[in-house]
Structure 1
Amino acid sequence: MSRIRSVAATSPAINRRTVLAATGAAAVSAGVGYALRPTDSQAATDTTRVVAQSRRAPAAPLAPYTKGTTLATVAAPRNSSGFRRLGDGPGWSRVVRSELAAPKSGRAGRRTALASFVQLTDLHLTDVQHPSRLECLRSTDKGAWRPHEALTVQGAISLVERINALRGAPVTGTPLHFAMTTGDNTDNNAKSELEWYMKIMSGGRMTPNSGDPRHYEGVQNSGLKLYWQPESTVRDGDKQLGFPHLQGFLAAAIREVQSPGLNLPWYSTVGNHDALPLGCFGHGDSWLAEYAVGGKKLMSLSAAEGKKLQDAIRANKDPKGTAYRDLLKAHARDMRSVTADESRAPFTQADYLRAHLDPAYRGNGPVGHGYSTANLDAGTQYYTFRIADDVIGISIDTTDPGGHYNGSIGTAQLNWLDKQLRDNKDSHVIVFSHHTSQSMANTSNVDPAHPNERRHNGQEVVALLGSHANVLAWVNGHIHRNYITPHKGSGGHSFWEISTASHVDYPQLARVIEITDNKDGTLSLFTTLVESAAPHRTDFADLTQTGLAALYRELSYNVPDRTAMLAGDPNDRNTELVLKKG
């Protein structure tokens, strides 16, 4: 059995690492990027207390724990044609990856656990009745709207329930220290969605409904064949593919639900859908802001017009939403009436930070979930936090305030990141962001708050991380796909980039990551994927909160034009990533 050190039960020695943590020296440029000031968190004054917020080690000897993970079982289809019904399938085995270091025999008996945590990403909690949504692009792209989007809240709560049920890390059995969401927590940058996100993570009751409190008003009761009409006899395109008739589905989807909240500390990283209306348009257009809360909604569009708008968005030709605004104005007479609702207003960066700092959403902490009043004062969304005695985490903001769904970072943040890595050279580092290195390709737009600042792409971030020996991994999302990339940096330094699939598109996963010291000059990062707690088998008559969470998964499996590549190859799923110690 592995030798385990439970950080939660360890008193740190008097060394430079603990002194740095205790004095807040890890927080360079407080008020620019770092979150953990004494007024906002215990972290700056008491490392042991922050670490001890994680689950306590169980009384029994620690052992590998695979129940509820994809090592044990994964949802799989039970039939081979038509609408696929899911059931229990075989688990995914663990793959050892040695591109960056050779694994040495006997390491399992030597290894010591340093830290373990859970990554959630791309929840895309969706106000499906929001007027601004780009659902009408489904006329040109089947993937522009998902038949299961009305169940994002139920699905996310079920994922929280799964994480809460994990009694230890899958390989080492150590308590999980924290959870990190790596962005696109919301879908439309709507205040309604932000409230649902905060309650899902911290615990509470919520009603995933906006507009008319009594009735659903959206594309799924529009009678349009472009969308799945679950309660209508209309032979829509999705029903032709086998999607079921489900009476009562829409009323159940907008019914009050309850989340237990995560039972361990959680941190938050911002994504483009959290920062930008619809994930692609910069803030500032007052007409679009009014449209978001108004009483009209465009539900259909010709394929030609849809393709023109979609091409403009993809090519970064409409970062401010000007073409979208003009299209909406041109189709004013084609819109359908809905109930206006101020809760659908776009939220700003300050709104996002204030929500995290709100005591009502503290849950299991920490205060601010990484963010601080220093971030609020400086208008930044990046910070450093201590994970364990030997490990720090750095959350960066890769969204482009100027618009577009691809990312980049400004010079000030890149320099701040470099300083954090240098000042914490005695600690291992895990970097968190929303965008991947390949999707940080948007450097042409201007940040309205810093119009003269240069933007930097993902390869520049890779080069920076690869120049520091203490970087172990860059953990991110955005591409909705499991993908793990080895990076070899300068001076023999190397690190792993771990990209995890979304929870809105099948296979709807989160990832447990464990860091171990193999006591032979190498480290191992273990990655283990987990599904939500909802059963694999569904019952169309079960429209309870749990039944809808199960249906959420099954509907997502059956979306038209679904691609199997999002699950990734075996090398991108359950792995042991071996790395030389810096």
Structure 2
Amino acid sequence: MPRTRSRTGQTPGVHRRSVLAAATAVAVAGGTGYALRPDEAGAATDAAATERAASLASSRPAPAAPLAPYTRGTTLDSLATPRGTAGYRRLADGPGWRRVVRTALAPARAGRAGRRTALAAFVQLTDLHLIDTQHPLRLEYLRATDAHAWRPQEALTVQGAIAMVERINALRGAPVTGSPLHFAMTTGDNTDNNSRTELEWFLTVMSGGRVTPNSGDPRHYEGVQNSGLTQYWQPDAAVRDADKRLGFPHLDGFLAAATREARSPGLDLPWYSTVGNHDAMPLGCFAGHGDSYLTELAVGGRKLMELSAAEAKALQTALRAADDPEGARYREFLKAHTRAMRPVTPDEKRAPFTPADYLKAHLDPAHLGPGPAGHGYSAANADAGTQYYGFRVSDDVIGISLDTTDPGGHYQGSIGAAQLRWLERTLTRNADSWAVLFSHHTSTSMDNTRPDPARPDDTRHTGADLLALLGRHRNVLAWVNGHVHRNVITPHTGADGGSFWEISTASHVDHPQLARIIELTDNKDGTLSLFTTLVESAAPARTDFTDLSQTGLAALYRELSLNAPGASTVLGGGPADRNTELLLRKG
């Protein structure tokens, strides 16, 4: 396969995409994105039509010569590191994580560092979970049985996400090659409660502007953190709550600071979006958006904040069993607890959004930022009701964003047969390009095959089915995803000789709150390398409890996530799941 052209270090040969790029006067090295769109039936258009309808996006201007490799601002250089082993632990700057070379799919040949050329570089963000903490449908009361069902850091998701944007903007290029970063991709669960408030916050954080992470009464907070209930951290009150007994601080003015206006610079490179289950369904698990009771409760003036441990356990068990995909029993549960609900200020902006609303919001010019228009989604997606697409990353690399949410309900995923056929055609028609896939769900979390109510004849397929398809295509390099909130990197080899790396990245809401830079290089020795480098937000490691500025809150967000009761201590993964060089044979 003629995939030997490099973006740097040599003169590219004549190629139809190179000619097109020159004709449009947009340099591939600057981050041109050629969209590979689904047609009205959900299939890819032919190549000529695709390129005629191409959507162009430019990243920051490429330097005259490649930048030198560097580590500043990455976890290779330093890492926010806990001090102490018990109680409420503080963070401070500590040593970084080393890079691990992984050779399960190809050998690491000597001298490759001096031969390699860059193919592409990008940033993955995943599971931002921007949370409207005052939303009436939230399940905070499950903390009565599961300490981690509510997290003390949740009111600071917007400030934390902005600090991650600031970190990405500060990167001078890719850490290993110095290549310009082509784009950023979010791999789903950008929102938490499927709420219009959260969708607006997400799009503003990513594209730039002012965000007020507040809903209901604009004058004061109305949620569990000023409820007086001791199972939640009450930062402004003298209440000796459960978290303060663990060492959490008393912070006068915390809630007022957490809900005041914040400003995001927006990413300064093109960004693309992938949908997750929390973006697709109420509570991330219930099918359908036509339920009037749940909608009325979402925008209305009552909120359940407290539940007995026994009732919380029963509800959590039912949600995990996934035998109530449309939420019928959940509605009955809420109706049975109407008298226990507390009054809050109604807010129409808390209404759930549909998949069509999600597409419309991305296509809104108000959220264009640095582009591309729609952030991957197109009018063809809106017409067909699909949320998957392809795009050109560089002259030798395409990206493919999949929709692995199951509209039939439940938080685990699957993929429809029509989308699977489209993927097969897209990979086949672009066999002369390397391919990187993006999705929310991992291969092991795609085991939910409930039919799509809107497409009952569209058979749902599991992660194993998707792995089998990818293993038939030797141009697939990586499948990049999230959902499990943990750094995990897994090699896959197909029966037909295709091999690739599955790269799952930790969330931005749970500690250690990381994004991942991925670089693709040709080693000029029959192998390719994928370099993965994790980055933290731009907030300082050390917190100051008297600093309730936007930056101070972002630092506190990270420290609170470290100390959240019940939080897993293994989400950062092992050394081989963090900063890596992943070797592949060229197909």
TM-score for the superposition, normalised by structure 2: 0.94
Counterpart of 2:215 in structure 1 is 210
Counterpart of 1:331 in structure 2 is 337
CA distance in 1, matches of 2:325, 2:85: 42
Asked if the contact 2:39–2:384 (Cα under 8 Å) also holds between the matched residues in 1, the reply is: no
Compute the displacement of 1:323 (Å).
1.6
Output one character per residue of 1:104-125: Cα deviation in whole Å (capped at 9) or x when no partner.
Answer: 0000000010000000000000
Asked if the contact 1:75–1:87 (Cα under 8 Å) also holds between the matched residues in 2, the reply is: yes
Compute the displacement of 1:286 (Å).
1.4
SS in 2 for 1:88: strand
Output one character per residue of 1:29-76: Cα deviation in whole Å (capped at 9) or x when no partner.
Answer: 4234479999xxx983498x946x122233465211210000000111
Change (3 A) 1:175 1:27: closer
Counterpart of 2:40 in structure 1 is 31
Compute the displacement of 1:18 (Å).
4.9
Counterpart of 2:88 in structure 1 is 83
SS in 2 for 1:429: strand
1:123 aligns with 2:123: no
Compute the displacement of 1:172 (Å).
0.2
CA distance in 2, matches of 1:369, 1:31: 19
Asked if the contact 1:114–1:517 (Cα under 8 Å) also holds between the matched residues in 2, the reply is: yes
SS in 2 for 1:44: helix
Compute the displacement of 1:549 (Å).
0.2
CA distance in 2, matches of 1:285, 1:30: 30
CA distance in 2, matches of 1:186, 1:372: 20
Identify the match of residue 452 of structure 2 among 414, 423, 447. Answer: 447
CA distance in 2, matches of 1:335, 1:547: 34
Change (3 A) 1:19 1:348: farther
1:552 aligns with 2:539: no
Q: How does 1:14-25 map to 2 (within 5 A)?
A: 14-15=14-15, 18=18
Compute the displacement of 1:232 (Å).
1.1
SS in 2 for 1:268: strand
Asked if the contact 2:43–2:421 (Cα under 8 Å) also holds between the matched residues in 1, the reply is: no
1:236 aligns with 2:241: yes
Asked if the contact 1:440–1:457 (Cα under 8 Å) also holds between the matched residues in 2, the reply is: yes
Output one character per residue of 1:52-103: Cα deviation in whole Å (capped at 9) or x when no partner.
Answer: x122233465211210000000111123321101000110000000000011
Cα RMSD (Å): 2.3
Output one character per residue of 1:363-415: Cα deviation in whole Å (capped at 9) or x when no partner.
Answer: 00000000000000000000010000000000000001111000001111111
Identify the match of residue 444 of structure 2 among 431, 438, 448. Answer: 438
Task: Write the letter of the residue equivalent to 1:254.
Answer: T
Deviates more, 1:288-297 or 1:312-321: 312-321
Change (3 A) 1:119 1:10: farther
Change (3 A) 1:34 1:357: farther
CA distance in 1, matches of 2:18, 2:365: 28
1:157 aligns with 2:157: no
CA distance in 2, matches of 1:421, 1:37: 13
Structure 1 unpaired stretches of 5+: none
CA distance in 1, matches of 2:10, 2:60: 13
Counterpart of 2:27 in structure 1 is none
Identify the match of residue 192 of structure 2 among 171, 187, 191. Answer: 187
Counterpart of 2:403 in structure 1 is 397
Change (3 A) 1:216 1:442: same
Identify the match of residue 141 of structure 1 among 128, 138, 146. Answer: 146
CA distance in 1, matches of 2:130, 2:66: 39
SS in 2 for 1:490: coil
Deviates more, 1:21-30 or 1:214-223: 21-30
Output one character per residue of 1:171-205: Cα deviation in whole Å (capped at 9) or x when no partner.
Answer: 00011000000000000000000000000000000
TM-score for the superposition, normalised by structure 1: 0.95
SS in 1 for 2:313: helix
1:409 aligns with 2:415: yes
Compute the displacement of 1:26 (Å).
7.6
CA distance in 2, matches of 1:331, 1:28: 47
Change (3 A) 1:391 1:25: closer
Deviates more, 1:231-240 or 1:467-476: 231-240
SS in 2 for 1:551: helix
Asked if the contact 1:128–1:149 (Cα under 8 Å) also holds between the matched residues in 2, the reply is: yes
Change (3 A) 1:34 1:79: farther
Compute the displacement of 1:27 (Å).
3.5
Asked if the contact 1:85–1:537 (Cα under 8 Å) also holds between the matched residues in 2, the reply is: yes
Asked if the contact 2:36–2:392 (Cα under 8 Å) also holds between the matched residues in 1, the reply is: no
Compute the displacement of 1:302 (Å).
1.0
Asked if the contact 2:38–2:389 (Cα under 8 Å) also holds between the matched residues in 1, the reply is: no
Output one character per residue of 1:502-558: Cα deviation in whole Å (capped at 9) or x when no partner.
Answer: 000000000000000000110000000000000000000000000000000000000
Counterpart of 2:51 in structure 1 is 44
Task: Write the letter of the residue equivalent to 1:44.
Answer: E
Asked if the contact 2:34–2:393 (Cα under 8 Å) also holds between the matched residues in 1, the reply is: no
SS in 1 for 2:445: coil
Q: Percent identity?
A: 70
Counterpart of 1:226 in structure 2 is 231
Counterpart of 1:354 in structure 2 is 360
Counterpart of 1:377 in structure 2 is 383
Compute the displacement of 1:452 (Å).
2.1
Identify the match of residue 301 of structure 1 among 307, 326, 329. Answer: 307
Asked if the contact 1:542–1:548 (Cα under 8 Å) also holds between the matched residues in 2, the reply is: yes
CA distance in 1, matches of 2:190, 2:44: 20
CA distance in 2, matches of 1:60, 1:18: 19
CA distance in 1, matches of 2:44, 2:90: 46
Task: Write the letter of the residue equivalent to 2:338.
Answer: A
CA distance in 1, matches of 2:556, 2:325: 35
Q: How many residues align?
A: 573
Change (3 A) 1:237 1:43: farther
